[in-house]
Chain A
């Protein structure tokens, strides 16, 4: 669908949930890796995931030796009365030589600006900065250099936005997709007590149960049934907003079908809209996934940069429900 010539290459920003994934992403040709410390300071606080300080130091060294950057996400909201662990994460990111830190909380941005002024600051999607006034505020107040845009904007809206803000934008390119404005969703904590904002988890596995009911498989999150699958139907993970619910006597995927975001086919449009970087979702994903997705994006970005034509479809087997969508970037999704 595309043949526009693209001047600047889009930066590929790839997740790493552990050192092996980090090395795989670097080897597969990512420009940058993003990662987090193994605690509640980042929005993928899953058991067995993320980096201790030593692993982070080694990961940064591995990436830097191969010309790649590393961003550290400290993008949950510090708990009242307990800022220490978040501040330490900011200070350690600077000491370890991270190329940027990804933050969401105003108080923590203020702290980072004053205590680690030389560490580049990016605004996390968890800050939900969806308009020019908000983005200009984060730039003016905290010297933020890049904003990860919430998945609520269309390509046209992103282009309009980029024309009026003094910072780079990074958009979600591939993987699981929040249908709610990120950082402003308490659905998970309503059902489980654990939230993306405070605990760095959404629909956590600790609260997921599957139960057999006759030939059917029921998936539950906390006390709530999120889906019932008939025999032979693949039982997906019960992420709250991807559940099947009943409204007015009719069952449907009310919020979103199980599907993944994939922007490969609209890369030239995103570049033309002034986007600087593409963020791949999935710090919970393994090495094989990371290698595959990065390799395909590397290829696609290079083709797009040369003005070539993109087919898309290469990653269909990696997407949830084997369905992908350019999602919120298209007006029709709304």
Chain B
């Protein structure tokens, strides 16, 4: 089996033209096998990029990248579900379900189960695989032994997140709007001001979290580098990077070189730290501790 490096869906609210140009460059230059497209966090953002979606998907596919259409993590209305129903009726596209309701709609056709669906154990994984899941992107909270156990039992490939701020929670409430004293219905899209999320510090001035509309992420950037060897030994061959407003082509190249054995982990680490310099790295979830922790490996 070959290693597949993927780019997860963009979680933040960027201007539609910036998103288009970002993906054009990804299509043309990034050493990736798979790219996830689509709004996961807030349905209010969907209309803006929609007009560029077909040409972006086409350009990615033409560049040999598998395109997966990602869907909302928290579906609260029939209106939102209708959009997913319509996507699910589109032939010849691959869809990522991030809610069990969407997964149910996709049962019977090949689909991806996204990391916002709770897959913690072999029985759940087995159930989803028997109902059409062809790839499961595992939740960020899972420690190494759980990933290894799932990989051993899995009849289908599994994907692990190896780079980016960690999505920690989703809510009906928009914290960006709340921060600016606005109501969600009249949010003025203030989330667009923070390309990698709004910094949330403790009262002692320590970076803690990042708010992205209704989503809360880690302040730290989750990064697994020396861990990749162990993950591959357990049978994990799919690795996901989350998009950030940095040079993602360069980020993808670093992970590609690492996976291809062209770069050692420490060299890759230094290279990544130069590019992804807006927050420190963490890997605590993988090492079965607090997610914010950074466990140094020899």
Interface residues, chain A, CB within 8 Å of chain B? 77-81, 83, 104-108, 110-111, 127-138, 140-141, 151-153, 157, 160, 179-181, 183-187, 189-193, 195, 197-198, 222-228, 241, 243-248, 251-252, 254-256, 328, 331-334
Nearest first, the 4 A-B pairs at minimum CB distance are A107-B123, A133-B101, A134-B101, A152-B172
Q: Which residue in chain B gives the minimum CB-CB distance to A193?
A: B290
Q: A83-B121, A191-B290, A246-B202 are in contact. Are A129 and B101 (CB under 8 A)?
A: yes
* B103-143 near A? 1/0 per residue, CB < 8 Å: 11100000000001010111111111000000000011110
What is B's interface to A at a CB cutoff of 8 Å? 73-78, 80-81, 99-105, 116, 118, 120-128, 139-142, 145-147, 149-150, 153, 166, 168-175, 178-179, 183-185, 198-206, 208-209, 211, 216, 218, 284-285, 288-293
Pick from A81, A138, A223: contact of B292, CB under 8 Å? A223
Contact B198 A247 (CB under 8 A): yes
Q: Please name all residues of chain B whose beta carbon is closer than 8 Å to the beta carbon of A138 when the two chains form the complex.
A: 100
Given the complex of chains A and B, what is the CA–CA distance between A185 and B209 in angstroms? 13
Known pairs A152-B172, A186-B291; A79 contacts B76 (CB<8 A):
no
Pair A186/B141 contact, Cβ less than 8 Å: yes
How many residue pairs between the two chains, A and B, have CB atoms under 8 Å in the bound complex?
Answer: 226
Residue of A135, A189, A328 touching B285 (CB-CB under 8 A): A189
The residue on B at minimum CB distance from A194 is: B290
Q: Are B141 and A192 in contact (CB under 8 A)?
A: no
The reply to whether B128 and A152 form a contact with Cβ atoms under 8 Å apart is no
Residues on the A chain within 8 Å of B169, using CB = 180-181, 184-187, 241
Q: Closest residue of chain A to B116, judged by CB?
A: A184
Contact between chains at A152 and B105 (CB < 8 Å): no
Q: A107-B122, A129-B100 are in contact. Are A80 and B81 (CB under 8 A)?
A: no
Question: Chain B contacts of A133 at CB under 8 A?
Answer: 75, 81, 101-102, 104-105
Residues on A with beta carbons closer than 8 Å to the beta carbon of B75? 130-131, 133-134
Would A131 and B99 count as touching, CB distance under 8 A?
yes
Q: Kindly provide the distance from the CB of B12 to the nearest chain A CB, expressed in whole angstroms.
A: 16
Q: Please name all residues of chain B whose beta carbon is closer than 8 Å to the beta carbon of A181 when the two chains form the complex.
A: 74, 169-172
